[in-house]
Amino acid sequence: MTGGDRIPARWDRVVLKVSGEAFAGEAGYGIDGEIVGRIAQNISDVRSEFDVDIAVVVGGGNIWRGMSGAGAGMDRAQADYMGMLATSINALALQDTLEQLGQPTRVQTAIHMEQIAEPYIRRRAIRHLEKGRIVIFAGGTGNPFFTTDTTAALRAIEIEAGVVLKGTHSGTDGVYTADPNMDPEATRLERVSYLDVIQKGLRAMDATAITLCMDNNLPIVMFDLMASGNVRSILAGESVGTLVT
């Protein structure tokens, strides 16, 4: 489908948050080309079918986690900067795979690395989206002590996206009343408020990201990214995962 043939989406512009761990597959570390290909295919399919602007925020936990480094005695800020570099590796992998599928892309990083990516510039990112390019945001916020969940919330607000699509990868398909891996009676919530997520310590995004979304009335959909067709169903207006508002 091209141009006016595409279907209107529930939101005109979305930010998809993909954790670094999702790139690793069952190995738990590194980059699994098959998994990246599946994620890219899902993005490409909905971009071709729906009239929607798509930006992606990638994590870096499959390569390096700042908190783990800090726990081992490393300076937390230094460890977090290493994590930001890891997100850039994932962004380049996703960019290459998307472009093999015929999707025009741009990678923008919060840390300058001109040879491989553009610096993050809000107006330029919006312009890319308007031209039909998929924009991949790497490097976190460019500041230590902030997660890529917070990056997703911040970038979504900056580019005036309608929603953050928080994709999970470990079989969890939304926000539960308790950890479903620990409590067999835990139930998935179809809809939950920002305050409940914060006050009840529900596993969704970190408190900074949730607060940013709450202050700016930005909804979050937490869903299983690896289940085929979920992104399409969400953009079509179907109830998938958990809606946080």
41-75 residues labelled b (16+ CB within 10 A) or e (exposed): ebbbebbebbbbbbbbbbbbbbbbbbeebbeeeee
User: Alpha-carbon distance 120 to 108, whole Å?
Assistant: 5
16 pairs with which residues across the strands? Answer: 56, 165
- The arithmetic mean of pLDDT across residues 207-214, rounded, is 97
Q: Take residue 234 and report the two structure tokens written for it.
A: 């969400």
Task: Report the distance separating Cα 70 and Cα 20, nearest Å.
Answer: 18
Confidence of residue 43 (pLDDT cuts 50, 70, 90): very high
Percent of the chain past pLDDT 70, that is, above it, reads 98
Q: What is the predicted pLDDT for the residue at 203? A: 79
| Confidence check: pLDDT of 96 > 50 | yes
pLDDT digits (tens, 9 = 90+) for 128-150: 999 999 999 999 999 999 999 99
The answer to whether residue 72 scores a pLDDT higher than 60 is: yes
**Residue 204: band (very low, low, confident or very high) from pLDDT cuts 50, 70, 90:** confident
User: Is residue 123 within 8 Å of 108, Cβ to Cβ?
Assistant: no
pLDDT at 4: 61
**Full set of structural domains in the chain with CATH:** 3-244 (3.40.1160.10)
What are the phi and psi torsion angles at 146 (to 5°)?
Answer: -120, 140
Residue 189 has pLDDT above 60, yes or no: yes
Strands of the chain, DSSP E: 7-18, 50-58, 105-109, 118-119, 134-138, 163-168, 175-176, 188-189, 191-192, 220-224, 242-244
The answer on pLDDT for 3 being more than 60 is: no
Q: Which amino acid is at 198?
A: I
pLDDT band at 237 (very low <50, low <70, confident <90, very high): very high
Residue 1: the pLDDT is: 46
pLDDT, average across residues 4-19: 93
Average pLDDT, the chain: 94
Residue 62 pLDDT > 90:
yes
Q: What is the CA radius of gyration of the chain?
A: 17
